Amino acid sequence: MQTSHSEYLKLATVYLKSARDAFVSEKLLAEQWQELNYLSKPGLEKSISEYENFEKILLNNNIAIKYFPKNSKTRIDAVYCRDASIATDHGMIICAMGKEGRKWEPEAQYQSFKTHNIPVLGKIESPGSLEGGDVAWLNRTTLAVGHSYRTNEEGIRQLKAFLSPIGVKLIVADLPHYKGPQDVFHLMSILSPVDKDLAVIYPPLMPIRFRKQLINLGYKFVEVPEAEFESMGCNVLAIGPGKCIMVEGNPRTQTALEKAGCEVLTYSGQEISIKGGGGPTCLTRPVNRII
């Protein structure tokens, strides 16, 4: 039996947009990295090498990979494929990007889902905006959504309209300003569920009401230190209960996860994660997990 309503169960199927097909060329990277607010220009060959090592971790854990194809309309940010859609047990929800430079990604993913006969529950329409990085399953009937610069009230209203008829409750987390509209700051920048009652969080930016709601749901926390926030310490992808992937170079968070009983796998993500602000959750669009 499988479900899409989980962030921690055994990952069965995932979509990726490979660095080779997203970044395309050194020329394209040079043209786009500054406008899309990367820290610096990723190197193409190093990015492809890092990405292939990331893929190997997934394949070595018996995760089926599907790929979004190269698309001339999407930009280098398409490598962070979580953001353009949301998976539910009743079909995919196609997002509407809050970042102008990513506006073509939802339609590109929609076409891929149609090609592979994956059902679509609905599409978020303008003036709504909603990005998948602002969304996380807390349990099979509860979805958290961040109200952020990328996800607005109208997008949340439309999301609720899709989910209420299938028995899913929304918990809205009002995210702080932090570095402003140009920064890549999603709910999953400060929250990564890694087991049924365990989440990695970054406390300084966690809304108080939302933290209390997580506690009321039975969650315990692995808290990321300030020194490891910018290096993606809070961006952790669970591929099974208590088994997760994170960017290497976050030893305190990794040790805290291991002390909490987790198995941690790491990859070098300087080019594909750190420079663009997207860790392993951002690089993947999980579709199904095994109950």
What pTM value is reported for the model?
A: 0.96
Residue type, 90: H
DSSP class of residue 228? G
| Closest residue by Cα to residue 185 from 228, 235, 244, 227 | 235
C-beta neighbour count of 199 within 10 angstroms:
24
Give the pair of three-digit tokens for residue 59.
């394949």
Residue type, 7: E
| Closest residue by Cα to residue 200 from 173, 221, 225 | 221
Task: Write the pLDDT tens digit of every residue in 42-90.
Answer: 999 999 999 999 999 999 999 999 999 999 999 999 999 999 999 999 9
Domain of 115, CATH number, reads 3.75.10.10
C-beta separation of 34 from 75 below 8 A: no
Would you place residue 182 in the very low, low, confident or very high pLDDT band (cuts 50, 70, 90)? confident
Domain that holds residue 112: 2-290
Task: Write the pLDDT tens digit of every residue in 135-162.
Answer: 999 999 999 999 999 999 999 999 999 9
Alpha helices in 116-268 (DSSP H): 153-163, 208-216, 251-259
Q: Give the number of domains in the chain.
A: 1
> What integer is the mean pLDDT of 176-193?
91
Q: How many angstroms separate the CA atoms of 63 and 38, rounded?
A: 29
**Scanning the structure block, which residue is given the tokens 């008829």?**
165
Q: How many angstroms separate the CA atoms of 136 and 289, rounded?
A: 14
Task: Write the pLDDT tens digit of every residue in 204-232.
Answer: 999 999 999 999 999 999 999 999 999 99
Give the pair of three-digit tokens for residue 5.
């309503």
Alpha helices in the chain (DSSP H): 19-23, 26-32, 44-60, 105-115, 153-163, 208-216, 251-259
CA angle 267, 268, 272 (to 5 degrees): 105
Q: How many angstroms separate the CA atoms of 192 and 194, rounded?
A: 6
